[in-house]
Amino acid sequence: MRVRPILILGIDIISENPKRFAVVSWLNGKLERKGEFTLYRLIRFIQSKRPDIVAIDSITELGDDLRKFLRSLPPGTKLVQVTGRPGDQRSLQSLAKGHGIRTSDRFDPYEEAKLSALLASRGVGYEVLAFEDEVIVKVTRGRSHGKGGWSQDRYRKRVHNLVRDKVREIEERLRKAGVPFDLETEERDYGLARGEFRVYASREELAGLVRPMRGGDVEVRVYPVERAEFGFAPLRGEEAVKERRSIIVGIDPGITVGIAVIDLNGRIIALHSERNMPVGEVFRFISEVGHPVIVATDVSPAPGFVEKIARSFKAQLFVPRGSLRVDEKNELLKNLGVDVDDDHQRDALAAAYKAYLRLKPKLKHIDARLREAGLSKKADEVKALVIGGYNLGEAMQKVTLRERKIEERGEEVRESVDLTPYLRRIRELEKRVEMLENENRELREVIKEQRKTIGRLERRIADYDEEVRRKVLRERELEAKVKRIELLERQLREAKAVIERLGRDLVKVKRMNVVEVRGSAVPLKVLRVLSWRELERIEREVGLRKGDVLFIINPAGAGKAIAGELVEKGIRALITERPLPGPVREVLREAHIPFFTSEELDVKRVDDFAVVERETLENAIDELLARWEEEDHEREAERFLKLVEEYRIERAKELRRKAEEESKAH
């Protein structure tokens, strides 16, 4: 099988202002000096080469540009501080000697960069963690210029449908990959205006699942959630600390996160709730208390947030067979005899305690066996192993072997040690130090002379740089003017297009005004939707009087109550762009208020202004009222005939009954 090459870049700062870095690459054992880079060129170089590790002796060398540098790293590239985590750092030279790496000039930036790369290749150092294991994915419409009127409406609906389809596609991909997430959407035009995913995974885990998209009708943006403070993780995985106590954690996710922690004996250790608590903060809070062997929830199925926490700790996930009821939670807390600050702590504690009750018989059995074997002091460790999948015998054997190894190491340390070789080595090192101090003094003199030479050369370079700078400024000024001209030309084209559209609309409005002044047209009061809020707006802005004719663009969703309000207002007629809902039609028909569609009357509309020809409207109203009157007469006649028929039938029944009574009497 072919192994992918490992690329590590070692960097070290050369100068502060401007920032310049020495760069050395390590590719599967081969070192290569790459040269001197500014910060901008270094970022571009890293993005093109996509190394596995960028190694540096101290992240403080990046100064205020540290977060910018971390944001620019490609997915899968780690920034590693090889000298250790803050507060527990060692010098590069001592680390190199400890790993058998030769060192030479400690003042040479390329030598420092080389040592950083070599140490990182041997798994030395701590990865700088700038992001939580959470990613925000936002799906929105792209910026665009509509054509106006109906074309713009159709385009907007199309884009909202595309946003909805992209949200569904991402949702399906995440579900298939088993990545937990939460989703918020904003509906618009039977589609979606936006969708926002909170994905509980790192950027690396999302690589290939969600790709950013920009510049089209739909935009997909991916934002890693930054940590408030940097974290540091060892480059090589360290074993979990055996002395940390094993715990059961209950979590209630949401805007306010509730956390409850109990030990393996059912005792409450911690209760906490906090608003807008990211998954990284939850992880750190739990880590400070202990190591969770079970992460529990009170609902079924488990939320993605809880799944992420369980997966991060490699803990068992407890999900009840059915979501716990409120009375069941209260009963569990009553048995514990504890008061909580809010419902979130209650739900988290109920989940943790429910998980403990499920395990309680097994844990009691383990305690009994450990007392027999004399391992009661290691009860937590054995229980954690059993919950993790070991059987009881294997867990007891594993703990026993570990104790035996610790005792053997202690006995080895207690054996007598011959100090003679160490004393000899100390004398050799003292002589070496004395020789190095003499060499150091000589080198300082050399450095002083070199600094004088450097100062002289820097003055010559400064004169040359000033000439180059003036030339660059002239070129940049010319480039800026060209871009400004292009921008103004584009804005001019856009302004002309807007003026042309407004001119067409103005011609239409003037024609409508002429028609209205002549009395041959009826102005309509335009409502975007048939709702109480829109009615209040019309009343507030232009008023709503008896005899008004209303034009409704979208009446969908209206009911009998608002239709009754229109009847009480005494409107003369109602014109809609789309068909009226059934309940509204019934109320208006019963009140003899005519209603039509805009196609039936040929309505002329520009934005919030509309008119209809008076003669067309009057004829349509008269025809519809006449038809309704005829229909009412027909219904009344049918009702009368039905009453006569019912009377005839009842009369016949009554005569038949009397005849039967008389025949019985005779």
Quick: pLDDT tens for 74-133. Answer: 877 889 999 888 877 888 888 888 888 888 777 788 999 999 999 988 888 888 888 877
A 10 A CB-CB count for 61 gives: 17
Residue 512 sits in the same domain as residue 525: no
Residue segments in the chain with a per-residue pLDDT below the cut of 70: 1-5, 143-151, 236-244, 375-377, 402-425, 427, 505, 507-519, 607, 666
Residue 380 sits in the same domain as residue 292: yes
CA separation, residue 255 to residues 83, 276, 280, 306, 660 (Å): 39, 5, 15, 14, 82
Residue 386 sits in the same domain as residue 269: yes
Rounded CA-CA distance 571/608 in Å is 19
pLDDT at position 434 is 74
Residue 165 sits in the same domain as residue 113: no
Residue 405 sits in the same domain as residue 276: yes
Does a structural domain hold residue 388?
yes
Does a structural domain hold residue 510?
yes
pLDDT at position 244 is 62
**Torsion-angle region of 190 (φ positive above 0: left; ψ -120 to 50: alpha; else: beta):** left
Does a structural domain hold residue 511?
yes
* Domain boundary, last residue among 198, 228, 258: 228
Q: What is the pTM of this model?
A: 0.39
pLDDT at position 421 is 60
Does a structural domain hold residue 666?
no
Residue 212 sits in the same domain as residue 138: yes
Rounded CA-CA distance 227/108 in Å is 34
Residue 274 sits in the same domain as residue 155: no
At 374-421, the pLDDT tens digits run 766 677 777 777 787 777 777 777 777 765 554 554 444 344 444 556
Residue 264 sits in the same domain as residue 291: yes
Positive or negative CA dihedral for 488, 493, 496, 502?
negative
Q: SS3 string of 167-213?
A: HHHHHHHHHHHCCCEEEEEEEECCEEEEEEEEECCCHHHHCCCCCCE
pLDDT at position 466 is 79
pLDDT at position 209 is 81
* Domain boundary, last residue among 124, 141, 171: 124
Does a structural domain hold residue 392?
yes
Does a structural domain hold residue 447?
no
Does a structural domain hold residue 459?
yes
pLDDT at position 283 is 78
pLDDT at position 100 is 81
Residue 137 sits in the same domain as residue 65: no
Residue 514 sits in the same domain as residue 552: no
Domain that holds residue 179: 133-228
Two structure tokens written together for 377 = 């002091």
* Domain boundary, last residue among 228, 263, 293: 228
Rounded CA-CA distance 28/464 in Å is 41
SS3 state at 441: helix
SS3 state at 280: helix
Residue 354 sits in the same domain as residue 471: no
Residue 340 sits in the same domain as residue 279: yes
pLDDT at position 402 is 61
Kindly report the CATH number assigned to the domain that includes residue 189.
3.30.70
What is the number of structural domains in the chain? 5
Does a structural domain hold residue 658?
no
